[in-house]
Chains A and B, each alone.
Chain A
Amino acid sequence: MNENDNGIVISSRVRLARNFEDFVFPSRLDDAGSAKVLEKVENALKNSDEKFGTIKLSDMSDLQAETLKELHMISDDMLRGNKNGAVVVNKTNDICIMVNEEDHLREQCILRGNKLSHAYKKISAIDDMIASSEKIAFDKRLGYLTACPTNVGTGLRASALMFLPGLGMTNSLEKCVNAASRFDMAVRGEYGEGSNSSGYLYQISNQKTLGVSEEEIISSVASAVEQIEQSEILARKALVESNEVMLRDGIMRAYGILTSAYRLPFKEFEEKYALVKLGIYYGYISCNDFNAFESLLDKYRPANMMTHAKKIMNDSERDIYRAANAAAELKQLTAKV
């Protein structure tokens, strides 16, 4: 694994909050109004080069909804929202627009790796397309008007999902959170405020949305991400220098469990998976397809795993299924060095 593909920045996400001028915001919108909002979004995207599909919340099974939630494609707020809540997605699933969530539109682009700027360009093009066919709520002074005034201005939230075991294990994350907050950045757990991160996954995002241009936001988050990435690399160096024997032993034990256990609850899978990923970074474990390895974490999340397996399982069945299948895949993708 080289430094450009060190797996530290897992994904980049850019989200734009938008509302249609002619409709009241979703919390006050009736069913007919929210159905109309959805129709307008679909019409606006009809002439796009990309094909989009709509999944309405009311047509989704619980499993589908949970699967999309695990992939950050829909939010908790959306699941609690009105019956015309929907997600409009492209074929590659990297652009997804939540409709009738807190705002009429939450347009987002999620790309693997460190690609904030690219993600912004993609979603901004979609945003322009929608704005050219519908009047967007906008004020010259305050910018894009949103249901919660904390998002006014650009309505842009840029975030990177980062894998930070080095900073986590050396107890250096607090320093990181401190430094980031001085630059109006927030560091949160993977699924937002209060979510735990047993897999050392953290989201870094901007807090300020007004008085800064979109380009400034993207470049400041990208620069914070780069700083944190460099700190993570240093922390990993310090970690191995402080006690390599213990570290390597911990990693190889985790690898042993992932490839041999009979049952694996997701939390344990996530913890051991993080150590194995670190083992690949240090070269203790070889990996013949790092992208495939990276996709395992999402694949074995409870809802995603059942969707892949095409069957509903109880907790115990899931844990046994995860252990057997993850082990088989890991044995194909990786080997002890």
Chain B
Amino acid sequence: MDWHQLDLSPRITAAVRRAKLKCVQDVLCVSGLDLQRLTGLSRSDVQQLITAAATACRPHPPVPALLLHRGECRRLESGLRLSVGCPVLDELLRGGLPVGGVTELSGESGAGKTQLALQLCLSVQYPTQHGGLNSGAVYICTEDVFPSSRLQQLISDQSCLRSDVPPTLISRLQFSDHVYIEHTADLESLQVCLSRRVPLLLARGAVRLLVVDSVAALFRCEFQASDWLERTKQLLSFSSTLHHLSQEFNTPVLCINQRRHRDPPNPGRQEAPPLSSNVSPALGLAWANQVMVRLMMRRLQETVARGNQRSALRRLEVVFAPHLARDGRDAAVWREGVRGLTGSECTDVQH
């Protein structure tokens, strides 16, 4: 933003130019006395300058929450949720993923994390009255090759999963045209992807869901244990990029994370909330501070059967979220996708 756009007298603007202050933001980061010294302006002039700069940096005044409640302020609360595509799991998540904010899904391998992520890539394409966001998804793979055959299978069985949606609508949607796949093998290419290609897709409205599968892979393999300071720095810069994208484009961001076995109990650490098992998501506290909703998927010992299909029993749990209670639902992965159990399936224990 340029100086002459501010509501200031030319005398003050000229003094600011002389002082070689680069941008409006700099004014707020320098103390008042320093500004007086740098610009040679009087105290009241400096006050005017700071107020003008602050007004320019803060576009919107405080809004009563009632306006959000009535849906009159879409900028702050769109009221949208991205449905998972299964009523049982949507009920657990109170409608689905929040559209602004980073959601983390962690779990051991084989728990069904990728299955759920693929399902979200499809459900985002439905119109909003069917829980979607009427747009595509971008899927960033850092670990494995994108499971495209499984995606095709999910697409062909959509009508079985989404019996609530008219079949004519499902047949009209070109699902596979709207899933953009990126493979990034190192941190550098991930940064390039997130800072150039993804914003472009989001700005065009081509996508409205960002999936990173998985965050832990790159950060775990590229850094030695002794580089933890550099790792934390990179991790913060990565997470702030995600946060920025999510806020700016009002887009849900789903990060898949691995799990690690928790360190032996140490009385000085009370970081991790108690869970039903002795594992916790990877990447530690620095990453956890950046996550808004933390979900966890576990694979249980039992298997469930439905017709001629069998599946290992899974459990999707809410670890923390500002709007959700700590709770969980049993689920299973069928041919058509991940579904919460309703009780019509039969469970048998197999070890």
Partners in one complex: no
B positions within 8 Å CB-CB of A? none
